[in-house]
Structure 1
Amino acid sequence: MDNLPNDLKLKILVRLPIKSLMRLKCLSKSWLSLISDPYFAKLHFQQSSQQHPNRILYTNGPEILSIDFNLSLHDDSAIVKLDLPLFKSYADRDFMTASCRGFVFLKPINERKVFLLNPSTRICKQIPLPPSKHNIRTLYGFCYDELADDYLIVLASEYKDPPSSGIHLLDFEVFSIRTNSWEEHGQFSVGYCSPSTVGFFLNNAVHWLVQTPSDIEIIAFDITTKSLREIPTPFGRDCDFVEVMYDLRVLEGCLTVLVGMNGHDEIWMMREYGVKSSWTKFFSLSYSKLLDNIFPLCFTKDGQLVGGDGHIRLSKWNEKGELQERRQYFTQEKPERRQYYCCFSSSYYYLATPYTETLLSLP
């Protein structure tokens, strides 16, 4: 293969999985140089990003697993344990997670630290957070600005002004990986309370599910205009908040909302972004033999839904909502997590995130 032209080599190599490429880098200096080239990394990602995310990162304190969910959940060869010394000290900490372009955002709960990890290359970068301004709640988002070729961390601090008022305000700050700096980007009066903690990136905006006294809504922070807008949900103002769990995700390139109640979950998908009438109930799950709601993560290549629950398990469901398989990945379970905090999922359910393998590096 050494005798092949470089353009033909590239066409072959970009179709190989990361695991094979990492081995090929060890063959010679020429292979190392070719595969380590940023141009090759972009070509490979463009090829792989046309497919579904192919792995899930699952955390339990310092234990971090990378799981190929397209294989059987009981296939041990699908599991790679990431030995990352940087996280050895987090035995009693959970991580909030999100992913973008193969990088995983890791936020230790109750600590003012953020890490960006490429699970494929094991490269990790710690991001310094600015001093906390307010103490009600902080929203987080991780996204990619295509125009600037830059990765951004969005931080929104929630507070009341005055403290006795019912008006909630959000102060937005954005960290640029390229400039290695934070910038303030406005204060927004939202009138909401108890937002979900981790946002999801879609259509150039980071989205969070929030609750008003009479409704469930989605707010979106546009990273280009640095403005906040509302996205309609499928629920009316007469929705019942009692013993109901809500959760926001992005599946198949669409905003997706989970509604869980009484051993039954409904999953709604917004087929056309921003159009309320396009919300469609496309999945229904019953889990009478389980103790927790099933939080959707992704789909396998053959169309099965992969979800996580509150007992450090992953499960697969067919299109009829029937359980196909389930596996617990850690020997020690977390305490019971069936909590209804203002009708939103507890931060536990952000311990797993799907991602696409990549050789990309941060700017």
Structure 2
Amino acid sequence: MSKFPLDVLTGTFYRLPVKTLLRFRALSKPLCSLIDDPDFIKHHLKHSLSTKSHLILILKGLHLYTVDLDSMDKATPFDDYPESIWGGTEVFGSCNGLVALSNSDLDIVLFNPATRKLFKLPVECIELPNESCVRGFVFFGFGYDHVKDDYKVVRMVRFKQGEDDDIGWFIDYEVKVFSLKTNSWRRIKKLPNYLRFMFQFYFHLMHRRGYGVYACGVLHWMLPRKPELGIVNLIVGFDLVAEEFRVLPQPDYGENEKDFVLDVGVLEGLLCVICNYDQVKVDVWMMKEYGVKESWSKLFSVGRNRSISSVRFLKPLAYSKECGDGDGSDKILLDVNGEKLVWYDWKRKRLKTVRIKGAPDSFGTFLCVESLVPLVDEKKKKQQKQEKERNHIRKKRDDFLSKGFKLVL
């Protein structure tokens, strides 16, 4: 290492995959210190995101699978992953290389697929408003608080007044936020009234299942239109920094606003809305400047064709690396109906199905970047370990002294 300038070595390491860097940690203490350094971890992640490098897809079928986004040739099952991850595990979010998973409403874990590190959240019970209430639908979300450098899980619980209550409009939600930095849950007490109308039965049927969409430091859900109550479609956001709810402005859809079902998505870190016209056609809009209504722009439309008989569900995942390189190619990877992945060239209006060996027939999709982001504060963990060792030595010394100088009367 002494023969290489540190900036040259560091710049080279930013381009390497996580698996290679983990091997390099064993070569020497200086390399290990460099790779474990928080600043290096942040710059390595930033480089991967800006260059679209080291990206993987996570497919959720009966089991969990990973697919390398560059090759997209085969799906690798999570066979050698921790016991906490099994076939029934749901994926409800991904951010900066960390994946949020749930086995139940109380059994939640954060997982880094690249480092194979897993962190189990402390169990946080659901508090019923009264004895006659029962738990209804549960919404999850996961994202990053850039101000506090903290990763947060949001759990929203809808209650019902007994099993026969399918509406639950007259009972407040419970919203709690978990902070990875403090390893604790906190209840959000100031809740807007419109949360009571968040639930829609088709959330059960969608592959996204109503999980929050993370973009620009905010988690997003779609509050569906309810004409009988005079409620219009709303994009509901939960700011992970302020820990407050907000309603975001929507595009000017024109006269057809009542003719479609809305959903939210994210593409290259920017918020999108997906307008589904009776499973015949889908429009995808993108908010290019967060929170600014005038920045909404329609990206493309996809309709039924020979390879897609109906568009029940559509999720934008990633641009092709070729986009913007001057060859006129504008391709985007789409999850269609949770059954196939396609590259869509919206300039030429062409779809190309992606064949992935070993992929499940039906799946949910999450895009994830491989990163070194830790799930615990390693510096704090090391300090705690050293303090524990010092306390152990101190106790042994005190025990020896108390026995060695004990007076026998």
Q: For structure 2, which runs of at least 5 residues remain unmatched after alignment?
A: 128-133, 204-209, 324-330, 378-409
1:299 matches 2:319: yes
- Indicate the RMSD between aligned Cα atoms, in angstroms: 3.0
Match of 1:345 in 2: none
Match of 1:252 in 2: 268
Match of 2:403 in 1: none
Match of 1:313 in 2: 340
Q: TM-score, normalised by structure 1?
A: 0.81
Preserved contact between residue 100 and residue 142 of structure 1 (Cα < 8 Å): yes
1:177 matches 2:180: yes
Match of 1:126 in 2: 120
- Aligned pairs (5 A) from 1:155-194: 155-159=155-159, 166-167=169-170, 169-186=172-189, 187-190=191-194, 191-194=196-199
Structure number having the greater strand percentage? 1
Deviation, structure 1 residue 249: 1.0
- Aligned pairs (5 A) from 1:148-159: 148-159=148-159
Match of 2:407 in 1: none
How far apart, in 2, do the equivalents of 1:160 and 1:277 lie?
39
- Report % sequence identity: 27
1:272 matches 2:300: no
Match of 1:353 in 2: 366
Moved more, 229-238 or 194-203: 229-238
- 1:28 to 1:206, Cα distance in 2 relative to 1, 3 A: same
Match of 1:284 in 2: 301
How far apart, in 2, do the equivalents of 1:100 and 1:64 lie?
17
1:263 matches 2:280: yes
Preserved contact between residue 141 and residue 206 of structure 1 (Cα < 8 Å): yes
How far apart, in 2, do the equivalents of 1:305 and 1:168 lie?
42
- Aligned pairs (5 A) from 1:104-253: 104-108=99-103, 111-133=105-127, 135-159=135-159, 166-167=169-170, 169-186=172-189, 187-190=191-194, 191-194=196-199, 197-214=210-227, 215-234=232-251, 235=253, 239-240=257-258, 244-253=260-269
Q: TM-score, normalised by structure 2?
A: 0.73
How far apart, in 2, do the equivalents of 1:332 and 1:227 lie?
38
Deviations 1:288-334 (A, max 9, x none): 32355332112121232111234543221113341123225546534
1:32 matches 2:61: no
- Aligned pairs (5 A) from 1:67-78: 67-71=67-71, 73=72, 75-76=73-74
What secondary structure is seen at the aligned counterpart in 2 of 1:11? Answer: helix
What secondary structure is seen at the aligned counterpart in 2 of 1:173? Answer: strand
* Segments of 4+ moved more than 6 angstroms: 160-165
Deviations 1:64-111 (A, max 9, x none): 21x23233x3x34xx5544344358733x2523311111111224x55
How far apart, in 1, do the equivalents of 2:345 and 2:180 lie?
40
Preserved contact between residue 140 and residue 155 of structure 1 (Cα < 8 Å): yes
Preserved contact between residue 62 and residue 87 of structure 1 (Cα < 8 Å): no
What secondary structure is seen at the aligned counterpart in 1 of 2:50? Answer: coil
Preserved contact between residue 161 and residue 168 of structure 2 (Cα < 8 Å): yes
- 1:209 to 1:329, Cα distance in 2 relative to 1, 3 A: farther
What secondary structure is seen at the aligned counterpart in 2 of 1:135? Answer: strand
Deviations 1:228-273 (A, max 9, x none): 11112235796346xx553211213321011233332211112232
Preserved contact between residue 170 and residue 189 of structure 1 (Cα < 8 Å): no
- Aligned pairs (5 A) from 1:2-81: 2-52=2-52, 54-65=55-66, 67-71=67-71, 73=72, 75-76=73-74, 80-81=76-77
Letter in 1 for 2:317: L
How far apart, in 1, do the equivalents of 2:242 and 2:275 lie?
31
Deviation, structure 1 residue 199: 1.0
Letter in 2 for 1:280: S
Letter in 2 for 1:327: R
Preserved contact between residue 313 and residue 328 of structure 1 (Cα < 8 Å): no
1:99 matches 2:94: yes
Deviation, structure 1 residue 24: 2.7
Q: For structure 1, which runs of at least 5 residues remain unmatched after alignment?
A: 335-347
Preserved contact between residue 60 and residue 94 of structure 1 (Cα < 8 Å): no
Preserved contact between residue 58 and residue 64 of structure 2 (Cα < 8 Å): no
How far apart, in 2, do the equivalents of 1:356 and 1:264 lie?
30
What secondary structure is seen at the aligned counterpart in 1 of 2:172? Answer: strand
- 1:84 to 1:233, Cα distance in 2 relative to 1, 3 A: farther
Deviation, structure 1 residue 152: 0.9
What secondary structure is seen at the aligned counterpart in 2 of 1:136? Answer: strand
Letter in 2 for 1:106: L
- 1:239 to 1:94, Cα distance in 2 relative to 1, 3 A: farther
Preserved contact between residue 70 and residue 300 of structure 1 (Cα < 8 Å): no
Match of 2:401 in 1: none
1:86 matches 2:90: no
Letter in 1 for 2:192: F
Q: Which has the larger radius of gyration?
A: 2
What secondary structure is seen at the aligned counterpart in 1 of 2:44? Answer: helix
Structure number having the greater helix percentage? 2
Letter in 1 for 2:285: W
What secondary structure is seen at the aligned counterpart in 2 of 1:132? Answer: coil
Preserved contact between residue 65 and residue 359 of structure 2 (Cα < 8 Å): no
- 1:140 to 1:323, Cα distance in 2 relative to 1, 3 A: same
